[in-house]
Amino acid sequence: MTQIDDVKSRLDIVEVISSYVNLQRSGSSLKANCPFHQERTPSFFVFPDRQSWRCFGACAEGGDAFSFVMKHEKVEFREALQTLAARVGITLVNNEESRSNARELFEINDAARRFFQQMLDTEEARFVREYLERRGVNERSIQTFEIGYSPPRDNRLLAHLRQAGHHDELIARAALARETEDGRLYDFFRGRLMIPIRDWEARVAGFGSRALDENATPKYLNTPRTPVFDKSRILYAMNLGKEPVRQHGAVIVEGYMDAIMAHQHGYDNVVASMGTALTERQVDLVRRLTTNVTMALDGDPAGRNATLRSLESSWGVFQRRNSQNTSVSMLQQPDAMELRVAELPAGQDPDDFIRSDPGAWPAFLERAQELFDYLLDSLSERADMDSPDGRSWVANTMLRFVAQIPDPLRSDLYLDRLSARLALNNDTLRRALGDIKRQLAREQRGQAAAAAADEATPQPAREYHAVEEALLAFLLQHGTEPLEGHESTPSTEWFSRSENREIYRNVIAGEDAEQMPVPPELQAHLDALRSRELRLSNQAKRDKAWLQMSLALEKEHLNNEIRQLSSLPEVMEDLDSPLAQRLLHNNIRIGEIDRLLRPASPNNT
């Protein structure tokens, strides 16, 4: 999560704006006389559900908490960020500083990695090498995966690192040592098989480990979260498998031993998620290389429900990522990611399976099914499909998956499949889908509230700004020519995310994409937009993409306003009011846009 996201996730727009303006409740939103222009009746509204504000009066402006503070305090983005970060108690880390801190952490991790590897070659680690042999890990894998050993006693890593001149503070920050209550440091990993975890750029970010004493707990222990280690942002063995993944697609297993065993037998497109559910960040990593992803699930009937939950979450990530894609590739077949699933026989994990019959792995993967079909099959096996109760249980479970597809066309396709398989009426399923969507929204709100309450894991409701970001990526990569003289040159107002607004402001000010003077906190976002793959190979495609994106952005903006306006009691009370007029105007303009967006003929792509 970026620092900006972190600040956002802790902010409440109502709280922020109430500290400047006296807000009154009005239905589900709040209103006030606009602080930015003179007026007698309020046309300034704050929408807590979308964390946004808007003046429907003379200013006709709106945005999020950042843009409000920028406008009210007349400051730049950076200062607004600092003000709001201070408000929620976050200290912004200077990027230069954090980069050099990260370098130190990678270096000390690498020193620890070398130490653990050396320890594996000592006489006292003979039993560890024997253990590896029993598990079928060969010498080449031990070298490739840099497997090591942490001695059980005497804090030897700590002593080694100190002797090499590393400070205690850094050793503790890398989580290689922990502090006792009386402030003394001790080795974090003791008596364990050590597996260095390298990130996308092959830097040693942290370690996985397995206890060698069967009675020791926990059996598996990873580096806790540090500034450079967050296992939800890493796929184990990806640093070795980029080319194979690009060529053959990615196979995702759960544990690092599974991945090691697969590579040992030549299946080097196998990477490990180090957890049950795929995270957004992991999916983004894979997507850089391939759209073809297979998950190899442990054959574990006892953990079925847990697996189902994790698949539901992975499915959600894929659907959101795919819907984000479509606006970029509006003119070509969208390269939707396909998630397939193959389940091992009961009681086996990929490590066991490959060890016992390495040659059977490709055939096993061949049997992978599209996730939706896999779930439908495995639920149908467990339910009594002859009884209405059984079928409705399957339907309701599957509808939770369909409910996460943002694209209505795709969602319809899945509904049709479900309706055919379960012999249930399509309209009935559609109504049930509506109920489930509302229920999921409630659950998400509940979760967000719970997360805000304990703050243990701040999980901001991810908002996607696919169209505005596609449009920015286009301008940054193909230049600003389309902005000159085009009838629908986007207004800064149309961007709902302040970060995007800030970059767009720089673009229209003619700043060079390479050296855009954005605040350092925005640099990573800018880099991501600049390196996004657009695949618009010729001018005709670019012209058309531009037209579609700018219209789509305007439409999204109008729709946002419509959603806001329709939630206001004032609009329904007086249909002649400027608010109601605006609602009408927006609807008319959307009709025009839809006509412009409609393809002239079915095969003109």
Which residue ranges make up the site for Zn ion (CB under 5 A)? Answer: 34, 36-37, 55, 57, 59
Least Å distance, CB 35 to Zn ion, is: 8
Whether residue 218 has a cis bond before it, omega within 30° of 0: yes
Least Å distance, CB 579 to Zn ion, is: 13
Read off the amino acid at residue 162: R
Least Å distance, CB 440 to Zn ion, is: 35
β-strand partners of 220: 210
> Of 31 and 203, which has the nearer Cβ to Zn ion?
31
> Of 55 and 65, which has the nearer Cβ to Zn ion?
55
Cα separation, 352 vs 530, in Å, equals 43
> Of 45 and 188, which has the nearer Cβ to Zn ion?
45
Cα separation, 545 vs 527, in Å, equals 21
β-strand partners of 115: none
Nearest C-alpha neighbor of 317 from the set 344, 287, 297? 287
Residue appearing with tokens 């060969």: 138
> Of 74 and 153, which has the nearer Cβ to Zn ion?
74
CA angle 356, 357, 359 (to 5 degrees): 160
> Of 36 and 220, which has the nearer Cβ to Zn ion?
36
> Of 37 and 265, which has the nearer Cβ to Zn ion?
37
> Of 34 and 473, which has the nearer Cβ to Zn ion?
34
Helices assigned H by DSSP within 339-481: 350-356, 361-366, 371-382, 388-402, 408-422, 426-454, 466-478
Least Å distance, CB 16 to Zn ion, is: 17
> Of 212 and 580, which has the nearer Cβ to Zn ion?
580
Least Å distance, CB 55 to Zn ion, is: 3
User: Does residue 192 sit in helix, strand or coil?
Assistant: strand
> Of 37 and 382, which has the nearer Cβ to Zn ion?
37
Least Å distance, CB 60 to Zn ion, is: 8
Least Å distance, CB 42 to Zn ion, is: 10
H or E segment and range at residue 9: helix 3-10
Exposure on the CB side of residue 77, measured as CA atoms within 13 A: 20
Tokens of 438: 């509302």
Nearest C-alpha neighbor of 210 from the set 258, 266, 160? 258
Cα separation, 357 vs 350, in Å, equals 10
Least Å distance, CB 411 to Zn ion, is: 38
The β-bridge relationship of strands 292-297 and 338-343 is parallel
How many CB atoms within 10 Å of residue 575?
11
The gap between the terminal CA atoms of the chain, to the nearest Å, is: 37
Least Å distance, CB 490 to Zn ion, is: 21
Tokens of 299: 């054959």
